[in-house]
Structure 1
């Protein structure tokens, strides 16, 4: 019978796991950065339009 004090074996991430994480994380970060740039550009456009007419 196993006890709760027994230490579990820990599997450390290797090169394959880190590569998989990078493959999934990089496109996500690129989309987030693109959305930030697009929303900031749209805000600057509307601010410019407002300043031009006032």
Structure 2
């Protein structure tokens, strides 16, 4: 795994965690954050599979 790949995965993972925490604060009732959370997970998985 290339260093940039690790960095990208790390940033994506951090985004997922941040969106999850925001969702918890919103009682999982914010559709915009939920969409961003879902998109981040999808992007993370796609990136991980491409490595």
Which one has a larger percent helix, Structure 1 or Structure 2?
2
Pairwise CA RMSD = 1.8
Aligned residue pairs: how many? 28
Aligned to 2:26: 51
Please list every run of 5 or more consecutive structure 2 residues that lacks an aligned counterpart in the other structure. Answer: 29-51
Q: Where has structure 1 moved over 2 Å in runs of 4 or more?
A: none
When normalised by structure 1's length, the TM-score is 0.48
Who wins on radius of gyration, i.e. which is larger?
A: 1
- 38, 45, 53: which one aligns with 2:13: 38
- Distance, in Å, in 2 between the alignment partners of 1:33 and 1:48 is 22
Relative contact order (alpha carbons < 8 A, sep ≥ 6): 1 or 2 greater? 2
Please list every run of 5 or more consecutive structure 1 residues that lacks an aligned counterpart in the other structure. Answer: 1-25
- Distance, in Å, in 2 between the alignment partners of 1:48 and 1:27 is 32
